[in-house]
Amino acid sequence: QVQLVESGGGLVQTGGSLRLSCAASGRTFSSYTMGWFRQAPGKEREFVAAITWSGVSPYYAESVKGRFTVSRDDAKNTVYLQMHSLEPEDTAVYYCAARVRLLTATPTRQTLYDYWGQGTQVTVSS
Protein backbone atom coordinates (compact mmCIF):
# COMPACT_ATOMS: atom_id res chain seq x y z
CA GLN A 1 0.00 0.00 0.00
CA VAL A 2 1.32 3.42 -0.98
CA GLN A 3 0.06 6.58 0.66
CA LEU A 4 0.29 9.91 -1.14
CA VAL A 5 -0.12 13.26 0.57
CA GLU A 6 -0.30 16.45 -1.47
CA SER A 7 0.45 19.89 -0.12
CA GLY A 8 1.17 23.39 -1.34
CA GLY A 9 -2.16 24.38 -2.77
CA GLY A 10 -3.79 27.72 -2.07
CA LEU A 11 -5.12 30.95 -3.46
CA VAL A 12 -2.98 32.91 -5.89
CA GLN A 13 -3.55 35.76 -8.29
CA THR A 14 -3.34 35.44 -12.05
CA GLY A 15 0.28 35.29 -13.10
CA GLY A 16 1.42 33.95 -9.76
CA SER A 17 3.24 30.76 -8.88
CA LEU A 18 2.77 27.81 -6.59
CA ARG A 19 4.70 24.64 -5.92
CA LEU A 20 2.81 21.50 -5.09
CA SER A 21 4.44 18.62 -3.28
CA CYS A 22 3.40 15.01 -3.03
CA ALA A 23 5.02 12.89 -0.35
CA ALA A 24 4.84 9.16 -0.89
CA SER A 25 5.32 6.17 1.34
CA GLY A 26 7.01 3.07 0.04
CA ARG A 27 10.55 1.82 -0.01
CA THR A 28 10.80 1.69 -3.79
CA PHE A 29 9.62 5.20 -4.61
CA SER A 30 12.50 5.69 -7.00
CA SER A 31 10.97 3.10 -9.32
CA TYR A 32 7.50 4.68 -9.40
CA THR A 33 6.06 6.67 -12.25
CA MET A 34 4.42 9.71 -10.68
CA GLY A 35 1.65 11.75 -12.22
CA TRP A 36 -0.27 14.93 -11.55
CA PHE A 37 -3.89 15.31 -12.51
CA ARG A 38 -6.48 17.97 -11.83
CA GLN A 39 -10.23 18.31 -11.66
CA ALA A 40 -11.98 21.62 -12.10
CA PRO A 41 -15.55 22.16 -10.89
CA GLY A 42 -18.01 20.48 -13.21
CA LYS A 43 -15.28 18.89 -15.31
CA GLU A 44 -13.65 15.51 -15.53
CA ARG A 45 -10.26 14.89 -14.03
CA GLU A 46 -7.51 15.49 -16.55
CA PHE A 47 -3.83 14.78 -16.96
CA VAL A 48 -1.38 17.55 -16.10
CA ALA A 49 2.13 16.10 -15.91
CA ALA A 50 4.05 12.91 -15.25
CA ILE A 51 7.58 11.83 -14.53
CA THR A 52 8.98 8.34 -14.85
CA TRP A 53 11.48 6.65 -12.57
CA SER A 54 14.38 8.04 -14.58
CA GLY A 55 13.15 11.62 -14.49
CA VAL A 56 14.08 11.97 -18.14
CA SER A 57 11.65 13.58 -20.60
CA PRO A 58 8.68 14.38 -18.36
CA TYR A 59 5.24 14.51 -19.90
CA TYR A 60 2.97 17.56 -19.92
CA ALA A 61 -0.50 18.44 -21.03
CA GLU A 62 -0.46 20.99 -23.82
CA SER A 63 -2.29 23.48 -21.63
CA VAL A 64 0.55 23.62 -19.09
CA LYS A 65 3.65 23.20 -21.26
CA GLY A 66 6.14 25.96 -20.64
CA ARG A 67 4.43 26.98 -17.40
CA PHE A 68 4.55 23.87 -15.20
CA THR A 69 7.53 21.69 -14.30
CA VAL A 70 7.36 18.27 -12.69
CA SER A 71 10.34 16.96 -10.77
CA ARG A 72 11.18 14.37 -8.16
CA ASP A 73 13.47 13.95 -5.20
CA ASP A 74 13.86 10.25 -4.57
CA ALA A 75 15.81 10.85 -1.37
CA LYS A 76 12.70 12.53 0.02
CA ASN A 77 10.12 10.28 -1.64
CA THR A 78 8.57 13.42 -3.04
CA VAL A 79 7.38 14.64 -6.40
CA TYR A 80 6.82 18.32 -7.13
CA LEU A 81 4.78 20.38 -9.53
CA GLN A 82 6.13 23.88 -9.96
CA MET A 83 3.48 26.09 -11.50
CA HIS A 84 4.17 29.51 -12.99
CA SER A 85 2.05 32.05 -14.87
CA LEU A 86 -1.08 30.65 -13.33
CA GLU A 87 -4.40 31.41 -14.95
CA PRO A 88 -7.97 31.18 -13.65
CA GLU A 89 -8.37 28.14 -15.89
CA ASP A 90 -5.82 26.34 -13.71
CA THR A 91 -8.21 26.44 -10.78
CA ALA A 92 -8.84 22.86 -9.74
CA VAL A 93 -8.16 20.18 -7.19
CA TYR A 94 -4.75 18.75 -8.00
CA TYR A 95 -4.06 15.08 -7.38
CA CYS A 96 -0.86 13.14 -7.47
CA ALA A 97 -0.85 9.51 -8.47
CA ALA A 98 1.64 6.68 -8.36
CA ARG A 99 2.22 3.83 -10.73
CA VAL A 100 4.26 1.23 -8.86
CA ARG A 101 4.47 -1.42 -11.56
CA LEU A 102 6.78 -1.12 -14.51
CA LEU A 103 5.21 1.13 -17.11
CA THR A 104 5.95 1.04 -20.80
CA ALA A 105 3.01 3.11 -21.99
CA THR A 106 2.83 6.90 -22.08
CA PRO A 107 1.85 7.81 -18.51
CA THR A 108 -1.02 10.14 -19.27
CA ARG A 109 -4.03 7.93 -18.66
CA GLN A 110 -5.57 7.83 -15.20
CA THR A 111 -6.25 4.12 -15.40
CA LEU A 112 -2.51 3.41 -15.48
CA TYR A 113 -2.05 4.59 -11.91
CA ASP A 114 -2.35 2.42 -8.83
CA TYR A 115 -2.59 4.92 -5.98
CA TRP A 116 -4.00 8.41 -5.58
CA GLY A 117 -3.71 11.20 -3.09
CA GLN A 118 -6.67 13.11 -1.70
CA GLY A 119 -5.90 16.26 -3.60
CA THR A 120 -5.00 19.86 -2.87
CA GLN A 121 -7.03 22.86 -3.97
CA VAL A 122 -5.48 25.47 -6.24
CA THR A 123 -7.50 28.62 -6.83
CA VAL A 124 -6.34 31.32 -9.22
CA SER A 125 -8.15 34.61 -8.92
CA SER A 126 -8.53 36.98 -11.85
Q: Which residues of the chain have pLDDT under 50?
A: none
pLDDT on residue 56: 81
pLDDT on residue 74: 94
Where b means 16+ CB within 10 Å and e means fewer, 3-41 reads ebebebbeebeeeeebebbbbbebeebebbbbbbbbeee
pLDDT on residue 85: 98
pLDDT on residue 26: 81
Nearest to 77 by CA among 36, 35, 28: 28
pLDDT on residue 83: 98
Dihedral sign, Cα of residue 4, residue 1, residue 37, residue 30: positive
